[in-house]
């Protein structure tokens, strides 16, 4: 049984064209879908945000999101801060930042916290989501990364950039939920979700935002009964 409507699914979903091979036509198709359905947000790599602004100029339902530190998360904190400020100056409504996975695995929590907190400060009150790229993490690391990022004050823990081989699964969502319980931080599930059944199961676990490519998002909308 569907537990969401087409409209609710759209408002819970960010569309993304952030791969190295995402084309101009892909970005135009994403904007067209957002204009039709009112998806929550749309993400492209930053060189394309001015074009997105033009394509969505008559759409007041969809924000343009900013991708920071894509795809590795390993750029300098100062670079992430610059990216964040520049993206917001160009109209981005929310920031999705990739954490520094090497620092997480090395136990360099002081550097990792500084990295996240400086992006939050640069965002000036805009929603910041920490992408922990679960494909590369053990279960314990998923929980550690989620707990640390939530403690820094991010609004969402996001599972994946879409560049890795895997992303959100029900088990990984359960781990994140357990790690951030009581913090007020939310979960954005992205990467590897392909059908409405999985979406419904993740909503039941507490997921409040999803990230999809345009084709998959439109496929799932068609699965939802009118």
Which CATH number characterizes residue 23's domain? 3.20.20.70
For 144, the 3-state DSSP assignment is helix
| Boundaries of domain holding 116 | 6-223
What's the average model confidence in pLDDT over 186-213?
97
Enumerate the H helices of 23-89 as residue ranges. Answer: 24-37, 49-55, 77-89
Contact 18, 44 (CB under 8 A): yes
pLDDT digits (tens, 9 = 90+) for 48-100: 999 999 999 999 999 999 999 999 999 999 999 999 999 999 999 999 999 99
Whether 130 maps to a domain, the answer reads yes
What's the average model confidence in pLDDT over 143-163?
97
Whether 40 maps to a domain, the answer reads yes
Residues 157 and 138: their CA atoms lie apart, in Å, by 16
User: Is the torsion defined by CA of 43, 46, 48, 53 positive or negative?
Assistant: positive
What's the average model confidence in pLDDT over 143-153?
98
- Which of 80, 126, 129, 188 is labelled catalytic? 188
pLDDT at 2: 53
CA–chain centroid gap for 202, Å, is 15
Whether 83 maps to a domain, the answer reads yes
DSSP state of 46: G
pLDDT > 70 fraction of the chain, expressed in percent and rounded: 98
Whether 169 maps to a domain, the answer reads yes
pLDDT at 4: 87
Whether 214 maps to a domain, the answer reads yes
Whether 21 sits among the annotated catalytic residues: the reply is no
DSSP state of 62: -
**pTM, whole model, 2 decimals?**
0.96
Whether 1 maps to a domain, the answer reads no
Whether 188 sits among the annotated catalytic residues: the reply is yes
Q: Rounded mean pLDDT of the chain?
A: 96
Whether 30 maps to a domain, the answer reads yes
pLDDT at 225: 85
Whether 19 sits among the annotated catalytic residues: the reply is no
Please count the structural domains in the chain: 1
Contact 161, 70 (CB under 8 A): yes
Contact 159, 149 (CB under 8 A): no
- Which of 96, 115, 126, 129 is labelled catalytic? 96
């Amino acid at each position: 049984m569907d537990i969401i409507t087409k409209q609710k699914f759209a408002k819970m979903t960010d569309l993304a064209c952030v791969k190295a091979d995402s084309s101009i036509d892909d970005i135009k198709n994403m904007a067209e879908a957002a204009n039709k359905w009112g998806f929550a947000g749309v993400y492209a790599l930053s060189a394309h945000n001015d074009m997105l602004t033009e394509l969505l100029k008559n759409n007041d339902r969809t924000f343009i999101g900013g991708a920071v530190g894509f795809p590795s998360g390993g750029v300098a904190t100062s670079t992430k801060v610059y990216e964040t400020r520049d993206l917001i100056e160009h109209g981005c409504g929310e920031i999705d930042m990739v954490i520094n996975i090497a620092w997480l695995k090395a136990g360099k929590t002081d550097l990792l916290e500084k990295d996240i907190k400086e992006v939050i400060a640069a965002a000036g009150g805009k929603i910041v989501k920490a992408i922990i790229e679960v494909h590369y993490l053990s279960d314990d690391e998923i929980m550690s990364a989620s707990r640390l990022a939530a403690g820094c004050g991010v609004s969402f823990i996001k599972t994946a950039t879409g560049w890795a081989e895997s992303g959100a699964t029900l088990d990984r969502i359960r781990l994140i939920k357990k790690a951030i319980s009581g913090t007020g931080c939310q979960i954005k599930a992205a990467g590897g979700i392909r059908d409405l059944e999985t979406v419904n199961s993740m909503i039941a676990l507490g997921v409040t935002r999803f990230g999809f490519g345009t084709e998959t998002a439109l496929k799932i909308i068609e699965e939802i009964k009118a």
